[in-house]
Structure 1
C-alpha cells in the first residue's frame, strides 16, 4: 500500500515543501521509518545486482562499448529506483526537465549544487550518457565500484589525472556530472565555495557548462543526516535546467560567475 496521502499531485505548482513529520503519531512514524529503510534496502539490492554483472561485462565488451553500456546501465538502475520511490509516496523527485539534454550532441559539463547524497543519482537517472566525478573512497564501495569502473567514472583523488580523465570523457561526447562545491552543501540553500577545476575541464575539452539547480526543503541525507532518521514527508527534490556558460580562459572569473548564479537561484 503506497502512502499517497503525503504527496500533492505531481504537476502541482508552487514551492516544494515537505510535510511536518512531528505531527505524525509515533506508531505511524515507526511504520514510515521502516518503509523508508525498505526503500533504501531496495536501492542496495538494485545496486549490488548491477555491480555483480558489471565485472562480467567489462571482461567481454570492448572498452568503449563497456563505457556506453555501463553508463546506460547505471542510469537504468536509478530510473527503476526512482519509479519505486515515487510509488511509495515517501519521495517526489522531479528531474524531467533534464531530458532535453539526453540527445544533445557533443560533450557537456553539468554542474549542480549538492544538498543531498541523492543528487547524482537523480541527475544520472535522466542522462544515460552521464559520467560522475566521484570520491576515490567510493571506488572501494561494493554498491558502486564495479559499475563505476565499467562506466569509466572519473575519480577525484589527484587533480591532474582527474582533469585528464574528465577531458577524455568529454571528447567522447559524455555528459560529465560534477559538484563544484567538492562536498555536500551546508544545507538546502547554503553552499560552499566553488572550485575552479570545472572551468579548467570545460576549457581544455572546449565544451559548455550547463547549470542544474537542485531545489529542496528536505534535510534528508544532507551532511550529518543518518539513513535511519525519518525526515519531514514527503521528501521532495526538483532538478531544473539553469544557465549555460561558455568555457573561458579566465577560470577565476568564470568560477565566480557560476557561484554567484547559484547563490541567486537558491535565494542566498
Structure 2
C-alpha cells in the first residue's frame, strides 16, 4: 500500500514539475527576457546574463524535483567544470539531462534542436541565450568552436537524441568534428539513471515503480590531439574520435556511480 501511495504521489508531483517548467518558460519569455533585451544592448553580454538566468532557473527546478520526491541525484567531479572554455560531451539517457547539466554550469552554451523554436515553452530561453541550433549547416561548426574559444562551456550530446535503454549508443560525428577542427580537449560527463525514466518516446506519466536516481560524473579530460594522432585528414580523425567516444561512453555507463 505504501509503495502504491508513493507511486501516486510521484505521478502527481511529476505532473506538477512539468507544468511548472512550462509555466516558467512562458514567464521568462513574456516578462524576464524582454526586460533583459531592453536593459542590455550589447549582444554578448545579453546572452551571458540570459544564460545565467536559465542556469539559476534550472537549478531551482532540479531542487523542486528532488524536494517533491520525484527523483534523487548525485554529482561527482563538479570542480572540473570550474574552468573556462570547455567542450562538454555527455550521453543522453533522459529528457532532463540538459536541465541537470545547465543547472551545474553557470554560463553554458548548447547545441539544441531547431524544433525548440516552435515550442512556446522553450522558444524564449533558447533565443535569449543565443544557443546554437543544429540546423545551422556549415556555420554551426564555426559557431561551436568560437563558443568554446570565447570561454563558454559548450554542451553537446553526441547521440543527437535520447538513447534507447539496452540498445548500443549511436553517436553522430558533429561533436567529434568540433573537437577535431578546433583541436579542443573533451570534458566528458557520464550520466546514468536507475531506473530509467523519460527515455525516448516515453510519456511523462509513465512513472517508474521506484524513484529514479540520477548520477552525473564529470570525468578527466580526453586529449583530442592524442586520440587522433596519425590521422591524415579531419574527416578520418572525426570518424576515429566518434568510434572512440562510442566505446568510451558505452563502457563508462556500465560502471558503478
So what's the TM-score if we normalise by structure 1? 0.83
Alignment match, 1:126: 104
Check the 8 A contact 2:62/2:99 in 1, yes or no: no
Alignment match, 2:139: 161
Q: Which moved more, 1:65-74 or 1:236-245?
A: 236-245
Kindly tell me the number of residue pairs found equivalent between the two proteins: 243
CA distance in 1, matches of 2:29, 2:223: 36
1:262 to 236, 249, 253: 249
Instruction: Tell me if 1:82 matches 2:58.
Output: no
Alignment match, 1:5: none
CA distance in 2, matches of 1:237, 1:35: 17
Instruction: Tell me if 1:190 matches 2:142.
Output: no
Instruction: Tell me if 1:104 matches 2:83.
Output: yes
Cα deviation 1:243-266 (Å, max 9, x = unaligned)? 422234522212211111111112
- Give, in angstroms, the shift of residue 94 of structure 1: 2.0
Instruction: Tell me if 1:179 matches 2:166.
Output: no
- Give, in angstroms, the shift of residue 221 of structure 1: 0.9
1:73 to 46, 49, 53: 53
CA distance in 2, matches of 1:98, 1:143: 31
Alignment match, 1:33: 11
The Cα RMSD (Å) is 2.1
Other structure's SS at 1:24 match? helix
CA distance in 1, matches of 2:113, 2:36: 23
Alignment match, 1:10: none
- Give, in angstroms, the shift of residue 180 of structure 1: 0.5
- Give, in angstroms, the shift of residue 201 of structure 1: 1.1
CA distance in 1, matches of 2:45, 2:81: 18
CA distance in 2, matches of 1:94, 1:110: 18
CA distance in 1, matches of 2:189, 2:124: 27
- Give, in angstroms, the shift of residue 50 of structure 1: 2.1
Structure 2 CA distance for partners of 1:226 and 1:148, relative to 1, 3 Å:
same
CA distance in 2, matches of 1:118, 1:191: 20
5+ long unaligned stretches in structure 1:
1-21
CA distance in 2, matches of 1:31, 1:174: 39
Alignment match, 2:35: 56
Alignment match, 2:114: 136
- Give, in angstroms, the shift of residue 44 of structure 1: 2.1
Other structure's SS at 1:73 match? helix
CA distance in 1, matches of 2:10, 2:106: 32
5+ long unaligned stretches in structure 2:
226-233
